[in-house]
Structure 1
Amino acid sequence: MRAVGIAVFLGLLAGAWSQVASPVLRPDCDALEVEEAALVAQDYMNSQLTHGYKYALNQIDEVKTIPRPDGGENYVVEMDLLETKCHVLDPTPVANCTVRPRQETKVEADCDVVLSKVGGVLSVVAYKCKSEPESAEDVCLGCPQLVPLNDTSALQLVDASLGRFNRVLDNDTARFALLEVDRLATKPLAGTPQYLAEYAIIETNCTNDDDDNCVPLASPVARKGFCVAAGTPAFTAAVDCALFTNEVAPVDPTLNGTGPVAPPVVPKLQTTHGLKHHHRLSSVNVPAATGLLSESEESQEVVPVVKRQAPMDTLLELPVVPAVPLPPAAAPVLQLCPGRKRHF
């Protein structure tokens, strides 16, 4: 029993030392280094998306920094992002993208992200996200209401508006096909439902004089674009399509722009492109970093803590051990979190 008691005591002592030596720090959510980490996470997660829209940082909810054995540190960041109106194919930087307004049914993503900072360089280690459109009760009366992505009437507008773009509005000889439908909505107008559609298009091997047996060109040769249309199934009131430049391989900033480099291998942020739901960010976990990602909406401690003490009668049997002075603990600092909202 005495040996067990000594082991428990030494374990407690070692645990206390480890906590003092490697504390969990909680910087302010609006600190410059925290915002830098959040923006790195934002840009990386957007780079992993293959469908839907880019997301912009709205608010940093919580942040912890944990020292690393290599002298760097890990950032554990809880953050909220808002869907923008820039499609993932759009090369426009997120900072220049318009956040989708509430009246168009905003989509918010809640993300937990782990980043490492070694040698001053921030890298995403793991992340998980979930997103949902705002509930119907929060959407204003008379505003566009989302409809399923397989809504027959809305898809008729998609087909008609793309046909109009190919026949009338396209100034070159290429013919474009539907790549994906990203958002469909309806809005009452003079008693007749008006539909709104947003969809991506891809260049085919056809010209406008060819028949309908068109095949999309392979990437990165094929040009892609994004269309916004409004009208009824029988009449396309407006359609506006923007064509994007071909994809460019990412460049490693450490090479000073001298050549392309593949992005780091981290599981992609999955999206659901279903028939009944619009794009939603879903959970992604890296097994090695699971302990650093909170398992719920509430933040949890992500570093080891001192195990619960042994029963008092066991502690009383411990031999007298000379007191070992611990380094003085830093005075507690009040963390200012959550941070400011950048949009709404």
Structure 2
Amino acid sequence: MKALVALILLVQIAVYQANAHGPKPIGPSPPLGLRDCDSSEGEEAAEVAMDYINTHHKHGYKYALNRIEELRVLPRRPASEVVILELDLLETKCHVLNPLPLENCTVRELINHAIEADCDVKLLKEDGKLSVTGARCHSSPDSAEDIIKICPDCPLLIPLNDTQVVKTVELLLDQYHSTNDAYFMLIEIARAQMQAPNTIIAEFAISATNCSSKDASENVKACQALSGDQAQFGFCVGSVMHVPKEEIHVECEVYAPQSEVAHPVLAKDNVGLLPAVVQGFSHHNLRHSHSSQFNDSSESNSAEVPVAATLSAKLVVKRTVSEPTAEHPGDVLHPPPPQCPGRIRHFHI
């Protein structure tokens, strides 16, 4: 009997001690610093990040935001914040030399062999102002198999340095010069596709020179790209069908002079393809534009801070996770986890 009484007392003491510590939290606590991906602070940070990415991308096309995959905001002493973004982007039809604002650029359709990019971006927020301190990106085309499933006859990407592509661009540029007096030189081949069975479609950037088409036909080596206040760029889209007979179609848009724009290819006096960038590749990878941003990991010594280590853990919270329920009236529920990834703005690859 004494043993039974002692056991009851021990149980009552244990219950009392448990209740003394207060109500128990229910459900997992949200990951550190995770915020709603579609919040206003996420939209603001993504806008700054997109401007940075497109400004530093010197080849190929501008990219548009498709979805915010993750948003984290961490405090930083004494009074600033570090904002970390994971972004999903899509290639637009605007070449990087096109002065059209990004919001007016059309995202390339899925059936036009769309290209997707993933970017990790780190920003610093001080006095309410956001600035990018590091970015790491990688882009890749949708698989040919996926395109064929939804559109068997759609053109597919082929390597930019393919001999057929290079020959096609030469024919297209010659065709353009046959009806225009000013002579333009090739900056870069931006995109090339094969339309089965015998058509090559090419898109390429051009630069105005100090020559007329007649001057170039006599001595093309004397032609130099215009620079400074006279610098003028253009962009061409064309196709060459080889059989049953050769048919050439090309349209070029020449932009108004952009004195503040200096294309890196022109800066190096090396107009044409960049083998280190496009050799064997079907697009200009965003990785090549940002890989040099991570030479120094010291935040005090470099304005560009690597974010790879910070973003190594994927803290993506699915929207389908069910909310925990309290088992007892006194239990405390953690707030629901922030909603990430965010909404898809265009389409998913």
What is the TM-score with the length of structure 2 in the denominator?
0.71
State the 1:248 CA deviation. Answer: 5.0
| Secondary structure in 2 matching 1:124 | strand
Which string of whole-angstrom CA distances, capped at 9 and with x for unpartnered residues, describes residues 199-239 of structure 1? 01111121122124242324333311110001225734321
Which string of whole-angstrom CA distances, capped at 9 and with x for unpartnered residues, describes residues 118-168 of structure 1? 111110010101111111211121111111112222222211111111121
Change in Cα spacing, 1:332 to 1:294, as seen in structure 2 (3 Å) is farther
1:224 to 226, 229, 233: 233
1:293 corresponds to which residue?
Answer: 308
| Secondary structure in 2 matching 1:339 | coil
| Residue pairs, 1:104-253, within 5 angstroms | 104-140=112-148, 141-168=152-179, 170=180, 173-188=181-196, 192-210=197-215, 211-213=218-220, 214-220=222-228, 221-233=230-242, 235-249=246-260
Change in Cα spacing, 1:343 to 1:248, as seen in structure 2 (3 Å) is farther
1:335 aligns with 2:338: yes
1:273 corresponds to which residue?
Answer: 277
Which string of whole-angstrom CA distances, capped at 9 and with x for unpartnered residues, describes residues 54-109 of structure 1? 00000000110011213121100001110111000001111111111111111111
The whole-number CA distance in structure 2 between the counterparts of 1:43 and 1:155 is 32
The whole-number CA distance in structure 2 between the counterparts of 1:144 and 1:291 is 38
Contact 2:236 2:252 in 1 (8 A): yes
Name the aligned partner's letter for residue 120 of structure 1.
G
| Secondary structure in 2 matching 1:164 | helix
| Secondary structure in 1 matching 2:198 | strand
| Residue pairs, 1:3-18, within 5 angstroms | none
The whole-number CA distance in structure 2 between the counterparts of 1:125 and 1:330 is 36
1:43 aligns with 2:39: no
Q: Which runs of 4+ in 1 moved over 6 A?
A: none
Name the aligned partner's letter for residue 130 of structure 1.
H
1:102 aligns with 2:110: yes
State the 1:177 CA deviation. Answer: 1.1
State the number of aligned residues. Answer: 270
| Secondary structure in 1 matching 2:339 | coil
The whole-number CA distance in structure 1 between the counterparts of 2:134 and 2:211 is 42
Gaps in structure 2 of 5+ consecutive residues = 1-30, 262-274, 300-304, 317-331
Percent of residue pairs identical: 40
Q: What value does the CA root-mean-square deviation take over the aligned residues?
A: 2.7
The whole-number CA distance in structure 1 between the counterparts of 2:49 and 2:308 is 14
The whole-number CA distance in structure 1 between the counterparts of 2:80 and 2:70 is 20
Change in Cα spacing, 1:60 to 1:295, as seen in structure 2 (3 Å) is same
| Secondary structure in 2 matching 1:209 | helix
The whole-number CA distance in structure 2 between the counterparts of 1:330 and 1:204 is 68
The whole-number CA distance in structure 2 between the counterparts of 1:240 and 1:292 is 42
| Residue pairs, 1:306-321, within 5 angstroms | none
Gaps in structure 1 of 5+ consecutive residues = 1-22, 251-270, 302-328
| Secondary structure in 2 matching 1:153 | helix
| Secondary structure in 2 matching 1:80 | strand
Contact 1:113 1:293 in 2 (8 A): no
The whole-number CA distance in structure 1 between the counterparts of 2:107 and 2:276 is 20
1:312 corresponds to which residue?
Answer: none
The whole-number CA distance in structure 2 between the counterparts of 1:61 and 1:100 is 20
The whole-number CA distance in structure 1 between the counterparts of 2:78 and 2:236 is 48
The whole-number CA distance in structure 2 between the counterparts of 1:177 and 1:54 is 22
1:75 to 58, 83, 86: 83
State the 1:45 CA deviation. Answer: 0.9
State the 1:337 CA deviation. Answer: 0.4
Change in Cα spacing, 1:43 to 1:272, as seen in structure 2 (3 Å) is farther
Change in Cα spacing, 1:243 to 1:291, as seen in structure 2 (3 Å) is closer
Contact 1:203 1:223 in 2 (8 A): yes
| Secondary structure in 2 matching 1:76 | strand
